[in-house]
């Protein structure tokens, strides 16, 4: 019964965390849209760090726009590419369009994560690919050799445990019951 309560608690925490991020992202998106149209206050600048953190947490990649300035006599100067996230908020039309798209992508990601909380197939996929997700969370590429090696080891160990459970189910259940009774 404890396991069921723990599982429900994990699901509830995951759902609430993603709901919180979803609501905050929508709030910051609305604040940015209002800033673009109505009045230019300092509020979007004050929450820039939170906006960038939410976008990165949602897996939204930063976009870059070319910076070009007229210098006179029909010439222009290019000063390279500018990061959209690092220059938030920006009212330039092309940057605002990209920023809006980044917000919408993050909102969709958090909505999807909330719904995935209750999808059993998603949890099975997570369990099968646990090393890949764990190493990815730590910043290791999914294509790295260490990730592939950890995944293979995980599958071999999981397959071995499953095979042992199928072959020796009564003995293992008796062992686990005795262990639990000894703990109580």
pLDDT in tens, 70-90: 777 777 777 778 888 888 888
CA–CA distance from 46 to each of 31, 75, 89, 99, 109 (Å)?
11, 36, 10, 17, 24
* Inter-residue contact 95 to 87 (CB < 8 Å): yes
pLDDT top residue among 84 and 20: 20
Same domain (yes/no): 108, 38: yes
Q: Which residues pair with 65 in a beta bridge?
A: 82
Mean pLDDT of all residues belonging to the chain: 87
Same domain (yes/no): 75, 27: yes
Domain extent for 127: 119-184
Final residue of a domain: which of 118, 145, 174? 118
Same domain (yes/no): 112, 49: yes
Model pTM above 0.75: no
Same domain (yes/no): 169, 142: yes
Mean pLDDT over 3-23 rounds to 91
Final residue of a domain: which of 95, 118, 141? 118
110 CB neighbour count, 10 Å cutoff: 22
pLDDT, tens digit, 9 for 90 and up, residues 25-51:
999 999 999 988 887 788 888 999 999
Final residue of a domain: which of 118, 136, 163? 118
């Amino acid at each position: 019964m404890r396991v069921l309560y723990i599982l429900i608690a994990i699901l509830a925490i995951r759902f609430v965390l993603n709901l919180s991020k979803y609501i905050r992202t929508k709030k910051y998106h609305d604040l940015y849209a209002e800033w673009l149209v109505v009045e230019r206050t300092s509020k979007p600048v004050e929450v820039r760090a939170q906006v960038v953190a939410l976008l990165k947490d949602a897996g939204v990649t930063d976009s870059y726009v070319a910076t070009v300035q007229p210098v006179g006599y029909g010439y222009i100067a290019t000063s390279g590419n500018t990061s959209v996230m690092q220059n938030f908020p920006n009212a330039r039309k092309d940057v605002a369009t990209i920023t809006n798209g980044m917000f919408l992508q993050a909102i969709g990601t958090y909505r999807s994560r909330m719904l995935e909380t209750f999808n059993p197939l998603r949890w099975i996929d997570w369990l099968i690919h646990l090393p890949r997700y764990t190493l990815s969370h730590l910043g290791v590429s999914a294509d790295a050799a260490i990730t592939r090696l950890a995944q293979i080891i995980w599958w071999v160990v999981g397959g071995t445990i499953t095979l042992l459970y199928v072959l020796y189910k009564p003995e293992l259940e008796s062992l686990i019951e005795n262990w639990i009774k000894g703990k109580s």
